[in-house]
Structure 1
Amino acid sequence: MSHLEKLELKSVKRANKQDPVQQRRLKLVAAIDEQLNVAAAMLDGENYEVKRKSWAKNEQGESVLVERMRKLRPWFFEQDGGWYVQCKYGNKALALGKGNAVFVKALKDVQGTLTTLKAATEAGELDEAISQAVQRKKAK
C-alpha cells in the first residue's frame, strides 16, 4: 500500500475570501500606521527607518537575501507657516473632498490628522478616492 493511498485527495481551486475594496483599505491603513511612526520620530528629532529585505550579490557572485534599512518619505511637509498632510495610495495623493491635503498649524497636530484619516479609511469614506487612484494607475 502506498503512502498517498492513505490520504484523501481532492482537486480544489483556492478562492480569495477578501474583497478588493477591503484589501485596499487595509493597505492604506498599514501605510497610515507607518506615517504615524514617521511623525512620532520627527517630533523626537529622529529619522524613522524600516527594515526591507532585498536580493544582493555577495563576494562569490551568489544572490543572497539581505536586510537593509530604508528611510520612509513623510506624507507631510512644512509650507505657508504650517504643515500640509497628504494621504497617499502608492505614490498618488488622494483627493480629500475639495483638495488633496489637510493644513495644520503645528507638527504635533499631524498625528491627530493621520489618526482621523485612518478612521475615515476604516469607515470606508476614502473608498471612492482610492478607486480613482487605482483607475488612473491602470490607465497608464
Structure 2
Amino acid sequence: MSVLSKLTVKSVTRASKQDPVQLRRRKLVAAIEEQVNVAATAVNGETYEVTRKTWIKNEQGEKVLVDKLRKVRPWFFEQDGGWYVLCKYGNKALTIGNGNAVFVKTLKDIAVALNTLKAATEAGELDEAIGTVVTKRSKSRS
C-alpha cells in the first residue's frame, strides 16, 4: 500500500472571496488617508515621510532587513491663486466629473476636499473612474 493512497486527493480551483471593486475602493481610501496626513504636515510646513522595510547588504555582505524613510509625494499643488487637489489611483489621476482636479482656496481646505473624495470613494461614486484607469493600464501592459 502506497503512502499517498492514505490521503483523499481532489482537484479544486480556488475561488476569490474578495470583490475586486471593493479591493480597489479600499486601496484608494488608504491612499487618500495618507494624503490627508501629507496635507496636515504641509500646513505645519513639514514633509510627510513613512517608513518601509527594505533589504540591504551590511559590511559583512549579509542581507538584513532595515527601516527606510520614504517621502510621500503630495497629490496637491499651488496654482492660479489656490490649490488643486488630484485624486490618483496608482500614478494616474482619476477623472472626477468634468475634470481631473478639485480647486480649493487655501492649503487648509485640502483636507476637506480629500475627506469628501474619501466619502465619494466609499459610496462607490468613483468606481467607474477607477475602472477606466485599470482597464487603460491593463491594455497598455499587453
Say yes or no: TM over 0.5.
Answer: yes
1:62, distance to aligned residue in structure 2 (A): 1.8
Aligned positions of 1:2-17 closer than 5 A: 14-17=14-17
Deviation digits for residues 31-63 of structure 1, max 9, x if unmatched? 000000000001111111101111111111122
| 2:107 alignment partner in structure 1 | 107
Taking the TM superposition and a 5 Å limit, the aligned residue runs for 1:29-68 are 29-68=29-68
Which residue is equivalent to 1:24? 24
* Alpha-carbon distance in structure 1 between the residues aligned to 2:38 and 2:9: 48
Shift of the alpha carbon at 1:85?
0.2
Question: Following TM superposition, by how much is the alpha carbon of 1:13 offset from its aligned partner in structure 2, in angstroms?
Answer: 5.8
Q: After TM superposition, give the deviation of residue 16 of structure 1 in Å.
A: 2.7
In structure 1, list runs of 5 or more residues that go unmatched.
Answer: 1-8
Q: Which runs of 4+ in 1 moved over 3 A?
A: 9-15
Distance, in Å, in 2 between the alignment partners of 1:10 and 1:82 is 65
Within a 5 Å distance, the mapping from 1:72-91 to structure 2 comes to 72-91=72-91
Structure 2: unaligned runs, 5 residues or longer: 1-7
TM-score by length of 1: 0.89
Report the TM-score when normalising by structure 2: 0.88
Show the counterpart of 1:3: none
Structure 2 Cα separation of the partners of residues 137 and 127 of structure 1: 15
Shift of 1:132: 0.6
Question: Within 1, Cα distance between the matches of 2:93 and 2:129?
Answer: 9
**Who is 1:137 aligned against?**
137
